[in-house]
């Protein structure tokens, strides 16, 4: 375990994560990869076994690749290539294909929108964090009190946050083979039903006290951490409730493995999302509620979900030879005003700060992107590399993103459930147009963090240097060729989530002596910058890695490389040999065409530029080749000289 | 374990594999995937830990993908994108880059030639066979006698082959951290040195007797099985000996991560092949031997290998901060006349039947392709699906391939070591031309099995139906689109190594009623054919799977599919739902372009055709759309009606 004990029932750990859903597991995986002392607890006896979230957006996949786990998702997930929209047609006595659109807009990302059950998503991260440093989820633990030593919040050696944990007894085993009801996690019922899946036997068996530097509440929509801080989710419900279930279908619907959105005349809407193996997630609109009304539990039986689905899909037949799981939920959009407390020593993330309707496949993604934003910042402060100020950008960046999502979801879910009627409250075809417009947003590739003067610079003129790079947005992918191995390489995928900053130099064609001189001068300045923040005896690229993308063929670069400043191809432990993975060339590859990276980023090779990327691939700023001093000033604002 | 015991020291198993190198492990993985009762033994206490083979050719990768393990190789292996040829130049006082060629010829295969140490290759198969059905290597077991009950060779219920095994004592542990000498497996020394890595303590601890239906000797160049059969490797040595070592290098050679072939003026030749991580395999020509002369062991120290390498690479400097392993070998090309005995109940495979020089990266590949050829045949006979006659094609097909390899290697290694001198015995540039010509051969994609009237038909006119499909060659890859999921799909990768035959129908554009009629008629005939060989209650695609590639867009096919014969989209257990993975369309995909499969295979959509592929992806024959009866006759020749 990554925590140290200082008495029999008391221990210290740098980061305590409450809740082992996607947000918590993603954070734990990131911190375990960065070798940060971490503990992750959950009150449930086991991970999610079935059902729940299942959409994985493009940007999420890019981040998974940076974390080194995307290959697992490639093996297991299912891509819905097209979305088919069905409308009522009297002539056929039911639904008829009205239109179809491609699900992932070509060019949006190198990784496509896919679906995989939350049980498998969690399983992959549980495996990954164990592989990273042996970290495992400590289950059947519930927090009962939070005490913060406010005097010591500024002391980096203190563990100012104290959480008391209660050990829960092991539950009876879940029955196998039955259809599992997910009602115990549904938002339609009161808190008491929450542990229904965890029926307990006997008494609790003790308490323990954990002292930590940072506490992160990833404990879901009913977050104990959020409630204990006295924060509330604010927002709306639109009084529509839905059923969701996972089933194998037998149907004469001709397009079974596509994504479907079917609008019936009188029976509401069904959304069907095929997933791994033969499983299909089905969302079925069940009814509306008056203000303050609660759902009648009898209304959400599996039989009714199936019957409603069959009614919507007429004239097509559909049977359900196997049902794996079902639940129901009320559509609501709520967000918390504040994601942080106690001078950024306590955070909330994921569903604890924002909830919304599941059908746009956002929840699991936005939750993991919350903790992706937070993890490297906590690690960098704990390592003494960055000032604690950077932690406050978590609130700025992710609360803004959550609000954007809520606004989108509010509009989208009303369109979707027919509360805004196409042709009446909205133009004919608005549904389809909304879907198409939404793709960029829902893919996660549209997230741009606003300038904060710290981690994202306010650079209105950056586009003069790199027309297609958005400061605050993530660094997009273009293909390059490895200078030493001639491999075709996805440049974005080289920006691993290993906690390092990247300085990407685009020097143009260094056969021009001006370009070579500019690169050499910049290299000498960067050498000073990276050494300033490096620990003694570390490799030169321990904290900031410099990558260079030439507009020169790789053969030329191979012969030139020996004379470049060492920061561009540093020597590395344990053998003290030179790197062969830091230089790239924008040229056609042997097997995969291309040679369009400069054009793709909108960089003029005769000027070149420098792009500074954060450890989460977001662009902090774009600089000219002669702006070494500005790059130095940027890092000086938040980094700690060693 | 997959074997059954009938007394305390005697047991029965369908297949006994002697030797757990690449050939044996690959066979064991295939048989475990096919759920065949199998045992695999090895006299060594552990798999190869370092060194040995490391080249993985294109065709090998295609087969790995069919076996479901290629993703592991994608993660771990290293591609040498270019081969750089260095020649002596007086002006620089040493070697100078003379030319470079791309290593994997574009268009040759969708999978590229890569390198990965044999320890990792073996490790991946050891994992895979354990995952398949729990099969593990039974180590420290040496066969001591072979007795065959010849009366019972024709009885499918008998276990006519009896092997006595001696349990070897556990060796002392290998020292860690030292450079490991691979001399104990080198071919320069006598048999006694073979178990040098396995120093024994104390006495042997017993014997056991295994009765099996099939025995496969994958026990290397000094095969006990081959010697026990009285067979010999026949061939030549060219009296040149080489050193090989695995090292991390520190060098000013500008092209460190490429493959190098460096010819010095007076110090011979060095071949350097970068591999996973920073490791590089280095082959260094050490000297020549008179006929019958043995190498002086003092001549093959690691220090001498390093010094020789440094001499060849002048004026470049090279140091070796870490050396992992070294060995030496004499170049020879030998092949066994016969690969089979006792009416095809005893086989030899891999190095047991053919040895050659390692530098073309052939040995491990050809060895695994031997057992890939054999495994599905044994499984099919054991399951009662095929007549035992098919087993004899192993000898026909693989002995011919081995001889081709030996002939190639004989010529190539003489060119390589300068025994044929470019510019003197061979034209200037012949070395380079030979390399380029050899790529298709060495990639494994050029292997074509000759017509045998049984598994490969003699069809001189097949090219009229499919210009670019070679009967007897493997089925090549072209991209298609999944009819039900619109995914871009590598058609070859759909031909999994699951023991099934495939009938691939190319009906053309079924919006034409003639084409649809022809498909429907053929489908009805195929329904009868596949049912004939299926066991009762099995899915329709248990033994022969029918795949259809339309020259019609997928949206049309989705609406048409319900009316196609069931054999084209069979229902499957456990839910009895229709397949959605058997229909493909030759059209451009949303994300990956293309739509050129018919053109790629050379099939005229207005005629169409049918391609019958063996479980190892080799093409048995190409038929016209109206030749259902000929397809029936083909299967009748060797398949067993159920």
Specify the domain boundaries for CATH 3.40.30.20 within chain A.
462-638
What residues of chain B, 263 to 302, have a C-beta less than 8 Å from chain A? Answer: 274, 278
| Distances A376 to A30, A150, A385, A533 between C-alpha atoms, Å | 8, 24, 11, 16
CA atoms within 13 A on the CB side of B159: 20
Q: What's the pLDDT score for residue A573?
A: 93
Nearest CB among A102, A559, A575 relative to B254 is that of A559
Phi, psi values for residue A411, rounded to 5°: -70, -45
Average pLDDT over residues B63-73: 96
Q: Which residues of A touch B563 (CB under 8 A)?
A: none
What are the structure tokens assigned to A289, written together?
């509620």
Please tell me if residue B187 touches chain A, with a CB cutoff of 8 Å.
no
On the question of pLDDT at A79 being above 70, the answer is yes
Q: What's the pLDDT score for residue A160?
A: 98
H or E element: which one contains B490?
Answer: strand B488-490
pLDDT tens string B459-476: 999 999 999 999 999 999
pLDDT tens string B81-119: 999 999 999 999 999 999 998 988 888 899 999 999 999
Grade residue B2 by pLDDT with cuts at 50, 70 and 90. very low
A143, A160, A358, A388: the catalytic one is A358
Superfamily of the domain at A462-638: Phenol hydroxylase, C-terminal dimerisation domain (3.40.30.20)
Q: What's the pLDDT score for residue B177?
A: 44
On the question of pLDDT at A508 being above 60, the answer is yes
Please tell me if residue B256 touches chain A, with a CB cutoff of 8 Å.
yes
A322/B562 Cβ within 8 A: no
Average pLDDT over residues A362-381: 95
pLDDT tens string A239-251: 778 899 999 999 9
Q: Dihedral of the CA atoms B309, B311, B312, B317 (nearest 10)?
A: 80
Count of A–B CB contacts within 8 Å?
A: 98
What residues of chain B, 481 to 520, have a C-beta less than 8 Å from chain A? Answer: 482, 484-487
Taking all residues of chain A, what is their mean pLDDT, rounded to a whole number?
89
Q: What's the pLDDT score for residue A417?
A: 60
Q: Which residues are within 8 A (CB) of A395 and not within 5 positions of it... i.e. 6 or more apart? A: A338, A339, A340, A344
Q: Which of A395-404, A547-556, B494-503 has the lowest mean pLDDT?
A: A395-404
SS (H, E, C) B57-122: CHHHHHHHHHHCCHHHHHHHCECCCEEEEEEEEHHHCEEEEEEEEECCCCCCCCCCCEECCHHHHH
Average pLDDT over residues A85-114: 92
Who wins on pLDDT, B442 or B10? Answer: B10
Phi, psi values for residue B116, rounded to 5°: -155, 135
Q: CA-to-CA distance for A251 and A266, rounded, in angstroms?
A: 21
What are the structure tokens assigned to B147, written together?
């007795």
CB neighbour class for A383 (10 Å; exposed up to 12, middle 13-18, buried from 19) = middle
Question: Degrees (nearest 5) of the Cα angle B283, B287, B290?
Answer: 135
Q: What's the pLDDT score for residue A177?
A: 44
On the question of pLDDT at B631 being above 90, the answer is yes
Nearest CB among A74, A487, A562 relative to B252 is that of A562
On the question of pLDDT at B604 being above 80, the answer is yes
User: Do the Cβ atoms of B4 and B16 come closer than 8 Å?
Assistant: no
Q: Which residues of A touch B590 (CB under 8 A)?
A: 81-82, 102, 104, 106
Q: Catalytic site residue B50?
A: no
Grade residue B638 by pLDDT with cuts at 50, 70 and 90. very high
CA of B169, closest CA in chain A: separation in Å? 34
Specify the domain boundaries for CATH 3.50.50.60 within chain A.
4-75+115-235+334-413
Q: Dihedral of the CA atoms B521, B522, B527, B533 (nearest 10)?
A: 150
Q: What percent of chain B has pLDDT over 70?
A: 88
Q: What's the pLDDT score for residue B582?
A: 97
Mutate to test the interface with A, among B71, B72, B254 (most CBs of A within 10 A): B254
Who wins on pLDDT, B268 or B608? Answer: B608
Q: What's the pLDDT score for residue A418?
A: 57
What do you get for the CA distance between the two ends of chain A, in Å? 29
Q: CA-to-CA distance for B434 and B157, rounded, in angstroms?
A: 51
- Residue B315, preceding peptide bond in cis (omega within 30° of 0): yes
pLDDT tens string A376-414: 999 999 999 999 999 999 999 999 988 887 777 777 766
User: Do the Cβ atoms of A318 and A249 come closer than 8 Å?
Assistant: yes
Specify the domain boundaries for CATH 3.50.50.60 within chain B.
4-77+116-233+335-398
CA of B554, closest CA in chain A: separation in Å? 10
Q: Which of A144-153, A569-578, B35-44, B291-300 has the lowest mean pLDDT?
A: B291-300
pLDDT tens string B258-290: 999 999 999 989 999 998 888 999 999 888 888
A258/B486 Cβ within 8 A: yes
Mutate to test the interface with A, among B102, B275, B484 (most CBs of A within 10 A): B484
Taking all residues of chain B, what is their mean pLDDT, rounded to a whole number?
89
Q: What's the pLDDT score for residue B176?
A: 41
Q: What's the pLDDT score for residue A185?
A: 56
Q: What's the pLDDT score for residue A240?
A: 79
A14, A22, A39, A54: the catalytic one is A54
CB neighbour class for A191 (10 Å; exposed up to 12, middle 13-18, buried from 19) = exposed
pLDDT tens string B193-210: 333 333 344 444 689 999
Average pLDDT over residues B351-369: 84
Q: CA-to-CA distance for B531 and B526, rounded, in angstroms?
A: 8
Q: What percent of chain B has pLDDT over 90?
A: 74
ipTM: 0.90
Average pLDDT over residues B354-371: 84
On the question of pLDDT at A2 being above 50, the answer is no
Q: Which residues are within 8 A (CB) of B571 and not within 5 positions of it... i.e. 6 or more apart? A: B539, B540, B577, B578, B579
Average pLDDT over residues A24-45: 97
Class of domain A4-75+115-235+334-413: alpha beta
Q: Tell me the three state secondary structure of residue A295.
A: coil
Q: Tell me the three state secondary structure of residue A357.
A: coil
Please tell me if residue A316 touches chain B, with a CB cutoff of 8 Å.
no
Q: What's the pLDDT score for residue B170?
A: 84
What are the structure tokens assigned to A130, written together?
């164990």
Average pLDDT over residues A460-486: 97
Q: What is the C-alpha radius of gyration for chain A, rounded to an integer number of angstroms?
A: 26
A79/B487 Cβ within 8 A: yes
pLDDT tens string A136-161: 999 999 999 999 999 999 999 999 99
Please tell me if residue A76 touches chain B, with a CB cutoff of 8 Å.
no
Q: CA-to-CA distance for B73 and B116, rounded, in angstroms?
A: 8
Who wins on pLDDT, A37 or B401? Answer: A37
B79/A254 Cβ within 8 A: no
Q: CA-to-CA distance for B375 and B31, rounded, in angstroms?
A: 6
A39, A226, A275, A502: the catalytic one is A275
On the question of pLDDT at B161 being above 90, the answer is yes
Kindly tell me the sign of the dihedral angle through the C-alpha atoms of B489, B495, B498, B501.
positive
Please tell me if residue A559 touches chain B, with a CB cutoff of 8 Å.
yes
Q: Which of A31-45, A272-286, B281-295, B401-415 has the lowest mean pLDDT?
A: B401-415
Q: What's the pLDDT score for residue A426?
A: 57
Q: Which residues of B touch A113 (CB under 8 A)?
A: none
On the question of pLDDT at A197 being above 60, the answer is no
Across A317-378, the runs of DSSP E, i.e. the strands, are: 318-336, 340-341, 346-348, 354-355
Who wins on pLDDT, B395 or A298? Answer: B395
Who wins on pLDDT, B487 or A180? Answer: B487
Class of domain B4-77+116-233+335-398: alpha beta
On the question of pLDDT at B381 being above 80, the answer is yes
Average pLDDT over residues B50-75: 93
Nearest CB among A80, A82, A575 relative to B278 is that of A575
On the question of pLDDT at B175 being above 80, the answer is no
User: Do the Cβ atoms of B207 and B141 come closer than 8 Å?
Assistant: no
Average pLDDT over residues B297-317: 91
Average pLDDT over residues A301-322: 96
Residue B297 DSSP code: G
């Amino acid at each position: 375990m990554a925590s140290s004990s200082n008495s029999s029932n008391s221990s210290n750990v740098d980061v305590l994560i409450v809740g082992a859903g996607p947000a918590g597991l993603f954070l734990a995986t990131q911190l375990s990869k960065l070798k940060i002392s971490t503990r992750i607890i959950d009150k449930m006896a086991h991970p999610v076994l079935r059902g729940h979230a299942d959409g994985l957006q493009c940007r999420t996949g890019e981040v998974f690749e940076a974390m080194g786990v995307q290959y697992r998702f490639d093996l297991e997930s299912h891509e819905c290539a097209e979305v088919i929209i069905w409308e009522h047609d009297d002539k056929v006595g039911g639904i008829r294909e009205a239109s179809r659109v491609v699900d992932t807009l070509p060019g949006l990302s190198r990784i496509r929108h896919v679906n995989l059950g939350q049980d498998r998503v969690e399983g992959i991260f549980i495996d990954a964090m164990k592989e990273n440093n042996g970290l495992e989820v400590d289950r059947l633990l519930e927090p009962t009190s939070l005490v913060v030593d406010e005097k010591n919040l500024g002391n980096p050696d203190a563990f100012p946050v104290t959480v008391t944990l209660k050990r829960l007894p092991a539950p009876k085993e879940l029955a196998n083979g039955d259809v599992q009801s997910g009602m115990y996690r549904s938002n339609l019922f009161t808190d008491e039903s929450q542990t229904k899946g965890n029926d307990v036997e006997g008494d609790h068996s003790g308490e323990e006290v954990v002292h930590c530097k940072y506490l992160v509440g990833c404990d879901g929509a009913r977050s104990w951490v959020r409630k204990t801080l006295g924060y509330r989710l604010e927002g709306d419900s639109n009084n529509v409730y839905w059923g969701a279930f996972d089933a194998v279908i037998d149907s004469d619907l001709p397009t079974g493995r596509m994504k479907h959105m079917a609008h019936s005349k009188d029976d509401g809407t069904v959304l069907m999302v095929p997933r791994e193996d033969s499983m299909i997630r089905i969302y079925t609109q069940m009814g509306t509620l008056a203000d303050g009304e609660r759902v009648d539990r009898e209304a959400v039986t599996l039989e009714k979900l199936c019957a409603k689905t069959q009614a919507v899909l007429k004239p097509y037949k559909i049977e359900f030879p196997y049902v794996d799981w079902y639940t129901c939920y009320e559509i609501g959009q709520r967000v918390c005003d504040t994601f942080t407390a106690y001078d950024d020593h306590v955070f909330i993330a994921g569903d604890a700060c924002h909830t919304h309707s599941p059908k746009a496949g956002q929840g699991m993604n936005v939750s993991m992107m919350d903790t992706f934003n937070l993890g490297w910042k906590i690690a960098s402060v704990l390592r003494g590399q960055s000032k604690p100020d950077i932690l406050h950008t978590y609130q700025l960046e992710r609360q803004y993103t959550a609000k954007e999502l809520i606004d989108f979801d509010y509009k989208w879910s009303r369109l979707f459930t027919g509360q805004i009627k196409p042709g009446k409250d909205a133009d004919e075809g608005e549904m389809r147009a909304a879907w198409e417009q939404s793709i960029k947003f829902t893919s996660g590739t549209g997230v741009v963090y606003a300038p904060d003067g710290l981690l994202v610079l306010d650079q209105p003129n950056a586009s003069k240097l790199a027309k297609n790079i958005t400061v605050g947005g993530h660094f997009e992918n273009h293909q390059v060729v490895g200078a030493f191995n001639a491999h075709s390489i996805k440049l974005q995928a080289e920006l691993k989530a290993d906690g390092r900053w990247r300085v990407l130099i685009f020097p143009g064609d260094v056969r021009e002596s001006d370009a070579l001189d500019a690169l050499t001068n910049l290299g000498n300045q960067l050498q000073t910058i990276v050494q300033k923040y490096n620990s003694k005896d570390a490799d030169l690229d321990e904290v900031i890695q410099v990558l260079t993308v030439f507009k020169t063929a790789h053969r030329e670069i191979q012969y030139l490389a020996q004379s470049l400043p060492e920061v561009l191809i540093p020597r590395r432990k344990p053998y003290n040999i030179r790197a062969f993975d830091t230089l790239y060339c924008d040229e056609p590859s042997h097997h995969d065409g291309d040679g369009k990276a400069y054009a793709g980023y909108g960089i003029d090779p005769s000027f070149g530029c420098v792009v500074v990327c954060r450890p989460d691939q977001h662009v902090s700023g774009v600089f000219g080749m002669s702006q070494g001093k500005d790059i130095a000033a940027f890092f000086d604002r938040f980094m700690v000289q060693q």
